[in-house]
Amino acid sequence: MREIPGAWRRTATGAGLLGPDGSPAPTIFAEMTALATRTGAINLGQGFPDEDGPAEVLDAAIAAIAVGANQYAPGRGVPALLDAIAAHQRRWYGLEPDPERDVLVTAGATEALAATILALVEGSDDEIVVFEPYYDAYAACAALAGARLVPVPLRFPDFQPDLGDLARAVTDHTRLILVNDPHNPTGAVFTAEVRAEIVRLAHRHDAIIVTDEVYEHLVFDGPHVPIATLPGAAERTLSISSAGKTFSTTGWKIGWITGPGDLVDAVLAVKQFLTYTNGTPFQSAIATGLGLPDAFFTSIAQTLRGKRDLLGAGLRAAGLPVSTPAGSYFTVADATPFLAAGEDAADFCRRLPGRAGVVGIPLTAFVSREHRGAYASLVRFAACKRVEVIAEASERLRALA
Ligand code: PMP
Ligand code: GLN
């Protein structure tokens, strides 16, 4: 009995999931939201909207609960949602997944990523190529699966990968190329050239492409292009998305995967022992959401684009150089002008509530320890907040100067 907690602790330490004091390290998002709550600062850290999404979707969840959709959903997902996901892929991208074979509903994109990585990584020789900085769950899931993460750097301010770096990262050891496009935390949308190179390398080295497209409807400069739509890509690509960002329902945790049936089956084999299934009434409601008219989807991108511009202008006016994101909730600012001697972005973010009443997230939280130096002055701010909140945060940031 006494050995079990110790064993757990050793395993979690090896996977980097425990903090220096041996207790579970909170994610950077939890830490910074707690800091905002404690200090009363404006939370431009954790990416969640401060307004509800479409009433049709909220009402559909209430109606589903009222008519008794309150027990386990089928393991693959509620049939209406499987159909709606397939129809969404057809309507927006011309993809034709079979709703019964090629679609799987998951507990958010997070479970989709975890189950995919656990299912498809075979051994410690397997490598996962990621674009760094990367969403924090990628490294944690790779560690749980015992795979090695191979990062390809993205550099401020355009955050596009160098094609030479990419080609060197993908080898015959590469099991997965994990692509987050639009990208968190940088807001980058990859160029057509980068997307094509990913597919070419996946073919050459027989790797599987896994895409995290949770920001698919939050793009500002033209339509989102899923890698699965490129020639020769669909047969080796699993595409992951989530309702959280599109419908402002991050707390519902409804996500999904589409792709070749045999790969989806492998993911289901793991997923059924993680959550088995989740959120029956919310699944029904997201089926309603995915069926909303095109105008809904284009309007959320337009609204967020306006907020991106407002946040970017506010940060610039405060004296912070910024990148101009082409998608996602996020804008990256360079805090160099306001760093004290020896201070990095993490120190800056911990002091920012006291200095200006605002919370952001240091980019160092999205990179491996040995690469922190290259991102040490960069801070991510979220634009998915009400216009008046962004305006007030901008006003407060002027205090920095
Ligand atoms: N991937 C990325 C890039 C994200 O930003 C997030 C969080 N918003 C997720 C995955 C997790 O999505 P979910 O909340 O659906 O699990
Ligand atoms: N995806 C959100 C972000 O990047 C946070 C999700 C979380 O807290 N795990 O801010």
Q: What are the residue boundaries of the structural domains of the chain, listed by start?
A: 6-52+295-398, 55-293
pLDDT below 50 — which residues of the chain? 1
Do 154 and 132 touch, CB atoms closer than 8 A? yes
Ligand 1 contacts CB of residue 214 (under 6 A): yes
Do 205 and 238 touch, CB atoms closer than 8 A? no
303 CA distance to ligand 2 centroid (A)? 20
Ligand 2 contacts CB of residue 33 (under 6 A): no
186 CA distance to ligand 2 centroid (A)? 13
Ligand 1 contacts CB of residue 110 (under 6 A): yes
Report the alpha-carbon distance of residue 155 to residue 223 in Å, rounded. 24
Q: What is the pLDDT of residue 124?
A: 85
Q: What is the pLDDT of residue 1?
A: 43
Q: What is the pLDDT of residue 241?
A: 99
Ligand 1 contacts CB of residue 328 (under 6 A): no
Write down the residue that tokens 């120190």 correspond to: 347
Report the alpha-carbon distance of residue 253 to residue 282 in Å, rounded. 9
pTM over 0.75: yes
**Beta carbons within 8 Å of 317's beta carbon, 6+ residues apart:** 394, 397, 398
225 CA distance to ligand 1 centroid (A)? 18
The architecture (CATH level 2) of 6-52+295-398 comes to Alpha-Beta Complex (3.90)
Ligand 1 contacts CB of residue 327 (under 6 A): no
* Angle, alpha carbons 244-358-366 (nearest 5°): 55
The architecture (CATH level 2) of 55-293 comes to 3-Layer(aba) Sandwich (3.40)
Paired strand residues for 280: none
Paired strand residues for 127: 148, 174
Q: What is the pLDDT of residue 20?
A: 66
3 state SS of 280: helix
Q: What's the Rg (C-alpha) of the chain?
A: 21
Report the alpha-carbon distance of residue 335 to residue 155 in Å, rounded. 15
Q: What is the pLDDT of residue 381?
A: 98
Give the closest residue to 244 by CA, choosing from 44, 31, 53: 53
Residue with CA at minimum distance from ligand 2 atom 4: 47
